[in-house]
């Protein structure tokens, strides 16, 4: 007996893999449904059964990559007990995974304007990143005055800046991402309430 659900899942995975492999080679400049069908070695009708159009396929491919990234980051973060270690190593691992993503780098080189809908304003992609960051915070990690969602928003914005325009000092040293997390994220994590004077003031 054929397990149609499992077969559909494998076909969908095959399509997404073909789409991502193509995007990693040429960005999205020549991306087409016909081309993906050929690469996946499936009929066009089968492709359209899973994805009604090009944008739906691109959105699904982005979702697939983000889900894989989140799983990878969570696996790293869960190794560490202290909040500081989780912040530093989670941030550094996230940066390296994004910066080495072949699809993202190809699109940034070939047609970066296609990324704007995912990076500007209140996009689903950025909102998902913020929400994921909050799930990495354990009960009691943060002081009462510091909201986990606010910290997640700050971390995502910092990450976006570094990925799109990394300073030389950030990429030149092997421990650059960790250093940035210690310098710019940990002070926020350990910040005092607004009405509490800083030490030595």
Q: Where in the chain are the domains?
A: 1-52, 54-190
Cα angle 173, 133, 84; round to 5: 55
Q: In CATH terms, are 1-52 and 54-190 the same topology?
A: no
Segment 128-152 mean pLDDT: 87
Cα 142 from chain centroid (whole Å)? 23
| Percent composition of the chain: helix, strand, coil (DSSP 3-state, to 5) | 70, 0, 30
pLDDT in tens, 10-49: 999 999 999 999 999 888 878 899 999 999 999 999 999 9
The pLDDT of residue 197: 58
Q: How far apart are CA 53 and CA 194, in angstroms?
A: 50
The H-or-E segment that residue 136 falls in is: none
pLDDT in tens, 53-98: 998 998 899 889 999 999 999 999 999 999 999 999 999 999 999 9
- Classify 1-52 by CATH class: mainly alpha
Higher pLDDT pick, 116 / 160: 160
Higher pLDDT pick, 122 / 160: 160
The pLDDT of residue 150: 86
The pLDDT of residue 171: 67
Provide, rounded to the nearest whole percent, the portion of the chain with pLDDT above 70: 91
Check if CATH label 1.10.357 holds for domain 54-190: yes
Number of other CB atoms surrounding residue 102 within 10 Å: 12
State the Rg of the chain over Cα. Answer: 20
Higher pLDDT pick, 99 / 171: 99
Provide, rounded to the nearest whole percent, the portion of the chain with pLDDT above 90: 42
pTM of the complete model = 0.84
């Amino acid at each position: 007996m054929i397990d149609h659900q499992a077969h559909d899942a494998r076909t969908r995975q095959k399509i997404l893999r073909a789409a991502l492999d193509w995007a990693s080679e040429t960005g999205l400049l020549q991306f087409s449904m016909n081309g993906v069908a050929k690469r996946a070695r499936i009929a066009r009708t089968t492709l359209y059964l899973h994805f009604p159009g090009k944008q739906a396929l691109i959105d699904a491919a982005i979702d697939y990559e983000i889900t894989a990234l989140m799983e990878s980051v969570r696996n790293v973060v869960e190794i560490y007990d202290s909040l500081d270690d989780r912040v530093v190593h989670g941030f550094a691992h996230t940066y390296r995974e994004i910066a080495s993503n072949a699809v993202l780098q190809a699109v940034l080189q070939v047609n970066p304007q296609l990324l704007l809908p995912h990076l500007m304003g209140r996009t689903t992609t950025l909102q998902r990143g913020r929400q994921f960051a909050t799930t990495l915070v354990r009960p009691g990690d943060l002081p009462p005055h510091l909201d986990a969602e606010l910290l997640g928003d700050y971390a995502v914005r910092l990450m976006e800046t570094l990925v799109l325009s990394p300073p030389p000092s950030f990429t030149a040293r092997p421990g650059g991402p960790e250093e940035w997390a210690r310098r710019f994220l940990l002070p926020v994590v350990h910040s005092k309430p607004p009405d509490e004077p800083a030490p030595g003031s």
